[in-house]
Structure formats: C-alpha cells, structure tokens
Amino acid sequence: MVEIGVEYINYDEKMSPRDRRSHEHNVAYGLLFNMLKKHFGIEQPTILKTENGKPYIELDGVHFSISHTGGLCACAVANTPVGIDCEYVKSRDKEDMLRFAKRYFTENEIALLEKGGYCPTDFYKIWTAKESCIKKRGTNMGDVKKIDITKENIQFFCENGYIISINI
C-alpha cells in the first residue's frame, strides 16, 4: 500500500526565501501527520532521524517520505520503504543539462536524456527519481552517481508544471 498526498502553497509575497522554505517544511509535515492519521491511525507520531538524517517512525510497517519545492509539498506513506521527490520543471538549455548529467547521471540515464532530445521534463524526471531513491534508501547525495533509475521501480506524476517521482 502506497498513498500519496500533495498540497499547494500560497505565499505571502513579503516572505523571505528562508521563511518560504520553513513554511513549506511545516506544511509538508502537516500533510504527513494527516496522512499517518488517515491511513495508519497514528495520532501523534514521534519523528526520529537516522545518522544520515532520514526521518522515520519507530513502528514496523510504517514508512514515509516528504518533499517540498517552490509552492508544492508531496508526501508518500506506505507499508514498505518509499521515497518521494518533487521539482518544478524549469527551462534548461541542452549544454547545461548535459554538463549536469555527466556529473550525476549514469550512462543509461544520459541515454534516456538524449533519446528525449534533452527535454527539461525528462531531465527533471531523472533527477527527482534519483532523489527519491536516495530518500527511500536513507543514504545521501554522495550516492547519486551510483543509482541507476532504469533499474528502479519509479512512478512519475506530472502536475501543474511539477514532476513528482515515487520510488516504491
């Protein structure tokens, strides 16, 4: 069982970037708490963190992942490990994507990017998929080049200009 929730955020235009990020973080955890209550009956979860900073709950069969970016919060709760990531799809030129891809993507992922003609949506699908894998595993960004998303169980959702990737 995997349940996904998303919430859009409207900002006060006077908020600083730091305040916006903090607000997104709070909304994401509010979404998580609502989903844990609805799907697992957990009223007041205690969130702990691993050595690598991955948040978790000390209950067998209860797993979650959250992500937030520029106006969107996403959350996944599941009975098995799960990772979620979201990004707003911004325009990027081919050279920028290729430079980034050579540094962080595997050969298989670069081939996907090339096959799609260096489309920014494909770029963000690969990147969010990699981040969702890291979140599921509880590792860190040092492992990004070791992950090959073509060998993972990833689901993608495109919504209002955002890419949401879930690693199940």
pLDDT in tens, 27-38: 999 999 999 999
Spatial distance between the Cα atoms of 22 and 8, rounded to a whole number of angstroms = 14
Looking at the DSSP bridge assignments, the partners of residue 5 are: 75
Q: Can you say whether the dihedral through the CA atoms of 157, 162, 163, 166 is positive or negative?
A: negative
Looking at the predicted structure, is the pLDDT value of residue 53 above 90?
no
Q: Angle at Cα 149 formed by Cα 49 and Cα 28, nearest 5°?
A: 40
Q: What is the pLDDT of residues 114-168, one digit of tens each?
A: 998 889 999 999 999 999 999 999 888 888 989 999 999 999 999 899 999 999 9
Quickly name the fold that domain 2-80 has. Answer: Ribosomal Protein L22; Chain A (3.90.470)
Question: How confident is the model at residue 133, as a pLDDT?
Answer: 95
Of all residues in the chain, what percent are helix, strand and coil, respectively (each to 5)? Answer: 40, 25, 30
Question: How confident is the model at residue 98, as a pLDDT?
Answer: 93
Q: Which of 89, 88, 164, 97 lies closest to 121 in space, CA to CA?
A: 89
What's the whole-model pTM score?
A: 0.92
Residue spans per domain, the chain: 2-80, 87-167
Looking at the predicted structure, is the pLDDT value of residue 67 above 90?
yes
The residue type found at 139 is T
Q: What is the pLDDT of residues 74-125, one digit of tens each?
A: 999 999 999 999 999 999 999 999 999 999 999 999 999 999 888 999 999 9
Spatial distance between the Cα atoms of 64 and 167, rounded to a whole number of angstroms = 11
Question: How confident is the model at residue 11, as a pLDDT?
Answer: 83
Question: How confident is the model at residue 52, as a pLDDT?
Answer: 83
Residue 39, number of CB atoms within 10 A of its CB: 17
- Provide mean pLDDT across the span 31-51: 93
Question: How confident is the model at residue 143, as a pLDDT?
Answer: 85
